[in-house]
Amino acid sequence: MSEWRECVLGEYAKVIGGYAFKSEDFLEFGDYPVIKIKNIASGILNMTECQYIMANIASKAARFKAEKGDILIAMTGSHITQPSSMVGRVTRYNSTIEAYINQRVGKIITLDNSILSEDFLYHFMVQEDTAYSLANIASGSANQANISAGQIEALSFVLPCIEEQHTIAEILSSLDDKIDLLTRQNTTLEALAQTYFRQWFVEEASEEWETNGLDEIADFLNGLPLQKYPCKIGEPLYVIKIKELNGGFNDNSDVCSANVPEKYIVHPGDVVFSWSGSLVVDIWKYNKGALNQHLFKVTSDKYPKWFFYYWIKYYIPEFQIIAESKATTMGHIQRGHLTAAKVLVPSNDEIAIMSETMQPLIGKIEINNAQIQTLQKLRDTLLPKLISGEVRVK
Q: What does 101-142 look like in DSSP terms, one character per residue? A: EBTTEEEEEES-TTTS-HHHHHHHHHSHHHHHHHHHH-BS-T
Torsion sign over Cα 254, 257, 260, 266:
positive
Q: Taking Cα atoms as reference points, which of 319, 329, 265 lies closest to residue 297?
A: 265
CB neighbour burial string for 352-371, b if at least 16 within 10 angstroms, e if fewer: eebbeebeebbeebbebbee
Q: Please, how many CA atoms are within 13 Å of residue 191, restricted to the half-sphere of its CB?
A: 6
Q: Could you tell me what percentage of the chain is helix, strand and coil, using 3-state DSSP and rounding each to the nearest 5? A: 45, 20, 35
Chain centroid offset of residue 110 CA: 27
Listing DSSP states for 322-357 in one string gives HHHTSSSSS-B--HHHHHHSEEEE--HHHHHHHHHH
pLDDT at residue number 371: 97
Cα–Cα distance between 89 and 259 in angstroms, integer? 36
What secondary structure letter does DSSP report for 63? G
Q: Please, how many CA atoms are within 13 Å of residue 360, restricted to the half-sphere of its CB?
A: 6
Q: What domains lie within the chain, and their CATH numbers?
A: 5-159 (3.90.220.20), 210-345 (3.90.220.20)
Q: What is the pLDDT of residues 104-145, one digit of tens each?
A: 999 999 999 999 999 999 999 999 889 888 888 888 765 678
pLDDT at residue number 228: 92
pLDDT at residue number 251: 79
Cα–Cα distance between 343 and 356 in angstroms, integer? 20
pLDDT at residue number 329: 60
pLDDT at residue number 79: 40
Helices (H), 199-300: 214-217, 242-247
Cα–Cα distance between 82 and 126 in angstroms, integer? 14
For residue 146, what are the contacts with CB-CB under 8 A and spacing of at least 6? 75, 76, 87, 104, 138, 139, 140
pLDDT at residue number 315: 97
pLDDT at residue number 141: 67
pLDDT at residue number 331: 80
Q: Taking Cα atoms as reference points, which of 95, 136, 132, 102 lies closest to residue 20?
A: 102
Cα–Cα distance between 318 and 281 in angstroms, integer? 13
In the chain (394 residues long), the average pLDDT of successive 10-residue segments reads: 87 95 94 90 74 94 92 77 61 90 95 96 93 85 81 95 96 95 96 98 95 97 94 89 86 90 96 91 95 96 97 95 74 92 97 98 97 95 95 86
Listing DSSP states for 259-277 in one string gives TS-GGGEE-TT-EEEE-BT
Q: Taking Cα atoms as reference points, which of 296, 292, 290, 326 lies closest to residue 312?
A: 296
Cα–Cα distance between 338 and 152 in angstroms, integer? 49
Cα–Cα distance between 361 and 55 in angstroms, integer? 42
What secondary structure letter does DSSP report for 325? T
Cα–Cα distance between 374 and 393 in angstroms, integer? 22
Cα–Cα distance between 3 and 148 in angstroms, integer? 31
Q: Count of residues for the chain?
A: 394
